[in-house]
């Protein structure tokens, strides 16, 4: 199910919008009209900001929406699971529980500065684990995960799970995003947000960077007109 074609020069009657504005509506596009789903201009800006092509980017209401979409699109309730590496950001587990997905926990290695335990993640993987969430720099511990470790996970899980790398704080770390590896790892998803480094938490702007097939799939699951 797709919304009708988006062309501001056409009268769109299929959405049953009121054709005139409410009194006091001084907005640019008119609040009587539904907004453009995945607005092309916003997508182009975010794609250039994050250095990907528009096909590789889905815009959402913060990266929290990206997390929720991933779990809903890839985990069947009562059957599939996500894998997380605590201590880490709480929303991965919250979204999984709401969806009815299981949560497999593989702790970060405290004695090694909260490093990612790649072997333990691989050992804990079992059929039905569809998503592995890692956060770098990690919230709440603040450390970066080794890039080679994250890439190794993508490589070794390539036919088994999506590896979602939450880069909410990457701007503060002075290291490159993993987005340059999207071509190499079709199971890599990167979450970016305007909420932290850009001081725009109230604007609810986030982006999910991934293979175009994943972006297209999630665009069919996201609430229409959410932006
Ligand atoms: C704050 C935060 C987010 C969520 O940010 P949004 O405002 O939803 O974009 C995602 N991940 C981590 C690790 C965070 O700390």
Distance 168 CA to ligand 1 centre (A): 6
User: Ligand 1 center to residue 37 CA distance, Å?
Assistant: 22
Q: What is the pLDDT of residues 152-172, one digit of tens each?
A: 999 999 999 999 999 999 999
pLDDT tens column, 178-198: 999 999 999 999 999 999 999
Pocket of ligand 1, beta carbon within 6 A? 62-64, 89, 135, 139, 166, 168, 193, 195-196, 201, 206
**What's 103's DSSP letter?**
E
Report whether the peptide linkage leading into residue 87 is cis, meaning its omega lies within 30 degrees of zero. Answer: yes
- State the distance from the centre of ligand 1 to the C-alpha of 49, rounded, in angstroms: 18
**Would you say residue 14 has pLDDT above 90?**
no
Tell me the C-alpha to C-alpha distance, in Å, between residue 91 and each of 86, 118, 186, 195: 12, 22, 24, 15
For residue range 22-72, list pLDDT tens digits in order: 999 999 989 999 999 999 999 999 999 999 999 999 999 999 999 999 999
**What are phi and psi for residue 7, nearest 5 degrees?**
-150, 105
Q: Confidence band (pLDDT; 50, 70, 90) for 4? A: low
pLDDT digit string, tens, across residues 133-156? 999 999 999 999 999 999 999 999
At a CB cut-off of 8 Å and minimum separation 6, what does 40 contact?
Answer: 54
Q: What is the pLDDT of residues 195-207, one digit of tens each?
A: 999 999 999 999 9
**What distance in angstroms lies between residue 91's CA and the mean position of ligand 1's atoms?**
8
pTM: 0.95
Nearest CA to ligand 1 atom 14: 168
């Amino acid at each position: 199910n797709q919304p009708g074609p988006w062309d501001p020069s056409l009268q769109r009657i299929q959405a049953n919008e009121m054709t005139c504005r409410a009194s006091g509506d001084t907005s640019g596009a008119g609040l009587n009209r539904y907004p453009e789903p995945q607005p092309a201009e916003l997508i182009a800006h975010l794609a250039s900001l994050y250095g990907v092509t528009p096909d590789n980017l889905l815009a959402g209401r913060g990266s929290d929406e990206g997390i929720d979409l991933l779990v809903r699109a890839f985990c069947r309730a009562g059957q599939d699971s996500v894998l997380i590496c605590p201590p880490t950001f709480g929303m991965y587990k919250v979204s999984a529980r709401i969806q009815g997905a299981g949560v497999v926990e593989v702790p970060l290695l405290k004695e090694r500065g909260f490093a990612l335990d790649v072997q333990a993640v691989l050992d804990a993987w079992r059929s039905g684990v569809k998503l592995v969430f890692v956060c770098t720099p990690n919230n709440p511990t603040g450390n970066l995960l080794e890039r080679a470790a994250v890439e190794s996970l993508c490589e070794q899980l390539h036919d088994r799970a999506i590896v979602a790398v939450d880069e909410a704080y990457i701007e503060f770390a002075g290291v490159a995003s993993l987005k340059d590896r999207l071509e190499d790892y079709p199971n890599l998803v990167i979450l970016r947000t305007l909420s932290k480094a850009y001081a725009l938490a109230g604007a609810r702007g986030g982006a999910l960077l991934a293979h175009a097939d994943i972006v297209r799939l999630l665009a069919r699951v996201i609430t229409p007109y959410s932006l």
